[in-house]
Amino acid sequence: MAVFVYAENINGVYKKAALEAVAYAKAVASQKGDTVTAVTVNPTDASEVLYKYGADKVTVIRDESLKSFSPKSYAQALNEVTDGSIIVFPHTTDASSVAPMLSVLKNFSLITNVLALPESLSPFQVKRRAFSGKGFMHAKADEAGVVVTVSQNAFGVKENPVSGIEEVKELSVSNDDTRVIAHEQSSGKLDLKEAEIVVSAGRGLKGPENWGMIEDLASVLGAATACSKPVSDIGWRPHSEHVGQTGKAIAPNLYIAVGISGAIQHLAGVNGSKTIVVINNDPEAPFFKAADYGIVGDAFQVVPALTEKIKAFKG
Ligand SMILES: Cc1cc2nc3c(=O)[nH]c(=O)nc-3n(C[C@H](O)[C@H](O)[C@H](O)COP(=O)(O)OP(=O)(O)OC[C@H]3O[C@@H](n4cnc5c(N)ncnc54)[C@H](O)[C@@H]3O)c2cc1C
């Protein structure tokens, strides 16, 4: 039986998280000696995009009733077209709300926030992020099948081109009453969840008028911008930039935190980052314990100097 993967598209377009999930499914299928079937709903992108990352088959669901996202209806649709015992999802906000519903419909185990390839396939056992990213656990599936969500940026977007085939399924699943009425767009040019580099700032910046230097640093690095919760609560920055336990969880390759103390609730959303750089004028700031590199200094001096150095280096 093929390994299935939900290839999430945003307004028809496959983003990094979906491609990473397909690449992960391909690696699991290779362990099994099997193929990958990617399932997607009303895409505009061509299936070739998914073949490049290892999807041997792409099942395209066409369903007018799924034009607006509803976790329950998406789970029903996926239930109709999947018959494998391993179903992979990206750990995005929307996909993470469909995965548990599908696991219930199929009576499969659910393992979220998976970080690596399975240690064993029978029973399915895999390492996952736990306790808001403060620890790891090795989770074992009890049931005959398993639904997993892959933590973003944990496995990587790996190309594995195959000559795939496409199958179109016209469905009309009964819809439920839940509707997403609006998706908040991120304010920056780059999608925060997809960004490889994120420059983030907190209350240490004193006021919204000082964000120019954060945007300058982000601009030279090709980074997205983020902020701590109080900063978005006071309205210095939009809520779409709020990261942490109650905001977005991100895992970029590089996270630069400026004037952020490093409270546990903030770390919960960023501690999956591959490299963390902290700039803070308090050497006792808790964030330094989680940092790979730390600069003790005044952000108003350090950030512009850093931006100039990077500009000069790039030049
Ligand atoms: C249930 C709950 C959920 C929460 N969820 C989140 C969440 O999702 N995300 C989140 O971020 N927070 C969250 N919080 C809030 C969290 O506990 C902290 O209060 C918050 O993260 C602090 O934000 P901050 O670091 O920007 O501000 P502060 O704690 O005020 O820290 C400011 C930092 O800036 C430094 N600083 C000051 N001046 C300078 C300067 N000139 N140069 C350099 N550094 C300077 C200071 O030394 C200090 O470390 C949550 C709290 C609760 C109770």
pLDDT band of 190, cuts 50, 70, 90: confident
Q: What is the CA radius of gyration of the chain?
A: 21
Which residue, judged by its Cα, is nearest atom 6 of ligand 1?
A: 265
**Ligand 1 binding pocket includes 281 (Cβ within 6 Å):** yes
Spacing, Cα 235 to ligand 1 middle (Å)? 14
Q: Give, using CA atoms, the residue closest to atom 30 of ligand 1.
A: 203
Cβ of 70 below 6 Å from ligand 1 = no
**Tens digits of residue pLDDT in 225-246:** 999 999 999 999 999 999 999 9
User: Looking at the chain, which residues constitute the CATH 3.40.50.620 domain(s)?
Assistant: 3-170
Q: Could you tell which of 192, 198, 200, 203 is best to mutate to test the pocket of ligand 1, judged by most ligand atoms within 8 Å of the CB?
A: 203
Tokens 């490049």 correspond to 52
What's the CA-to-centroid distance between 138 and ligand 1, angstroms? Answer: 31
User: Tell me: the pLDDT tens digits for 197-227?
Assistant: 999 999 999 999 999 999 999 999 999 999 9
Cα(128) to centroid(ligand 1), Å: 27
SS (H, E, C) the chain: CCEEEECCEECCEECHHHHHHHHHHHHHHHHHCCCEEEEEECCCCCCHHHHCCCCCEEEEEECHHHCCCCHHHHHHHHHHHCCCCEEEEECCHHHHHHHHHHHHHHCCEEEEEECCCCCEECCEEEEEEEHHHCEEEEEECCCCCEEEEECCCCCCCCCCCCCCEEEEEECCCCCCCCCCCCCCCCCCCCCCCCCCEEEEECHHHCCHHHCHHHHHHHHHHCCEEEECHHHHHHCCCCHHHEECCCCECCCCCEEEEECCCCCHHHHHHHCCCCEEEEEECCCCCCHHHHCCEEEECCHHHHHHHHHHHHHHHHC
- C-alpha 262 – ligand 1 centre gap (Å): 6
Q: Is the CB of 202 under 6 A from ligand 1?
A: yes
Mean pLDDT of the chain: 94
Instruction: Confirm or reject: Cβ of 239 under 6 Å from ligand 1.
Output: no
Does the beta carbon of 298 sit less than 6 angstroms from any atom of ligand 1? yes
8 A C-beta contact, residue 279 and residue 258: yes
Quickly count: other Cβ atoms within 10 Å of residue 298's Cβ: 13
pTM, entire model: 0.85
Mean pLDDT over residues 113-128, rounded?
A: 97
In contact, 11 and 22? CB cutoff 8 Å: no
C-beta of 159 in contact with ligand 1 (< 6 A): no
Q: How far apart are CA 203 and CA 227, in angstroms?
A: 9
Which regions of the chain carry the CATH code 3.40.50.1220? 197-314
What are the tens digits of pLDDT across the range 35-69?
999 999 999 999 999 999 999 999 999 998 898 88
Judge if the beta carbon of residue 245 lies within 6 A of ligand 1.
yes
pLDDT number for residue 1? 85
Q: Is the C-beta atom of 285 inside 6 A of ligand 1?
A: yes
38: phi then psi, degrees, rounded to nearest 5: -95, 140
Q: 3-170 maps to which CATH number?
A: 3.40.50.620
Query: In this predicted model, what pLDDT tens digit does every residue of 243-259 receive, in sequence order?
Result: 999 999 999 999 999 99
Give the nearest ligand 1 atom to 206 CA.
Answer: 38
300 lines ligand 1 (CB under 6 A): yes
Q: Which atom of ligand 1 is nearest to the CA of 242?
A: 9
Alpha-carbon separation of residue 137 from 103, 123, 131, 134, 210 (angstroms): 20, 16, 9, 10, 41
Structure tokens given for 2: 């093929």
pLDDT for the residue 173: 84
CATH 3.30.750.24 applies to domain 197-314? no
Contacts of 303 (CB under 8 A, 6+ apart): 213, 214, 217, 258, 279
* pLDDT per residue as tens digits for the range 275-303: 999 999 999 999 999 999 999 999 999 99
Q: For ligand 1, is residue 229 a contact (CB within 6 Å)?
A: yes
Q: Nearest C-alpha to atom 53 of ligand 1 is from which residue?
A: 265
pLDDT tens figures, 255-271: 999 999 999 999 999 99
